[in-house]
Amino acid sequence: MNKKIKKITHSKLPEQSILNLDSSNFHFIDSFQGIIDDPQNEITSLMVGKAFFTSSPKWVEKLFAFRNKIVSLFGLKTSGKAVNRKELLDNFKCETGEQLGLFKVFGKNEQEVVLGEDDKHLNFRISLFLSPDKNDWNKKTLTISTTVVFNNRFGRLYFLPVKPFHKRIVPLMLKGIIKQLKK
């Protein structure tokens, strides 16, 4: 099996995504996709959802911890302190309404898990959408889409410095998820 991760590309929100059922007018939306080898058709949305929480580079985790310290001063939601993250993740089923850290599950089906949070400054959703690859039935396409709705001016201001990091972090996380799912 080829261990090299194929190119991550900028894409569109999949038409079948749960996020398309939301009538919100998103102020920000972007999507990235990559290909996963899955000749046995074993990879599920639950596996993708769990991999999301364990695939980010260490520097991203440190950046997120720094973010939590700063935003807590403004009364925004943070992920809190996980006492036993591995145990929490082992018991995590990606079911609608479940929460892991800052991320609540807003929807789940065979193809997709939608995570996110609503806060006073903005609401965000992250779709992890898994679909058969159109060119090769031994592969799947994984698309990560992010949507943001600003609730006030502070949300817009908050997102200004976040946006450039977001555009670098999401493709790295997608590579990490694909790498983890190949194991």
Tell me if 9 is assigned to some domain.
no
Tell me if 12 is assigned to some domain.
no
pLDDT at site 1: 41
pLDDT at 3 over 60: no
Q: How far apart are CA 100 and CA 82, in angstroms?
A: 9
Q: What is the mean pLDDT of the chain?
A: 86
Q: Which two tokens stand for residue 179?
A: 């790498």
Q: How far apart are CA 150 and CA 24, in angstroms?
A: 11
Name the pTM for this structure: 0.84
Tell me if 70 is assigned to some domain.
yes
Tell me if 17 is assigned to some domain.
no
Tell me if 19 is assigned to some domain.
no
- Structural domain count of the chain: 1
Mean pLDDT, range 97-121, rounded to an integer: 92
pLDDT band at 25 (very low <50, low <70, confident <90, very high): confident
pLDDT band at 79 (very low <50, low <70, confident <90, very high): low
Domain that holds residue 71: 28-182
Mean pLDDT, range 145-172, rounded to an integer: 92
pLDDT band at 87 (very low <50, low <70, confident <90, very high): confident
Tell me if 10 is assigned to some domain.
no
Instruction: Give the 3-state secondary structure of residue 34.
Output: strand
Instruction: Give the 3-state secondary structure of residue 50.
Output: helix
pLDDT per position as a tens digit, 38-54: 999 999 999 999 999 88
Tell me if 5 is assigned to some domain.
no
The secondary element (H helix, E strand) that includes residue 13 is none
pLDDT at 16 over 50: yes
DSSP label at 93? -
pLDDT at 73 over 50: yes
Mean pLDDT, range 104-133, rounded to an integer: 94
pLDDT at 22 over 80: no
Of residues 76 and 174, more confidence is placed in 174
For residue 112, with 0-12 CB atoms within 10 Å meaning exposed, 13-18 middle and 19 or more buried, which class applies? buried
Tell me if 87 is assigned to some domain.
yes
Mean pLDDT, range 2-16, rounded to an integer: 82
Residue positions counted in the chain:
183
Q: How far apart are CA 164 and CA 177, in angstroms?
A: 21
CATH number at residue 48: 3.30.530
| CB contact set of 146 (below 8 Å; sequence gap of 6+) | 28, 29, 30, 31, 124, 125, 126, 127, 166, 170
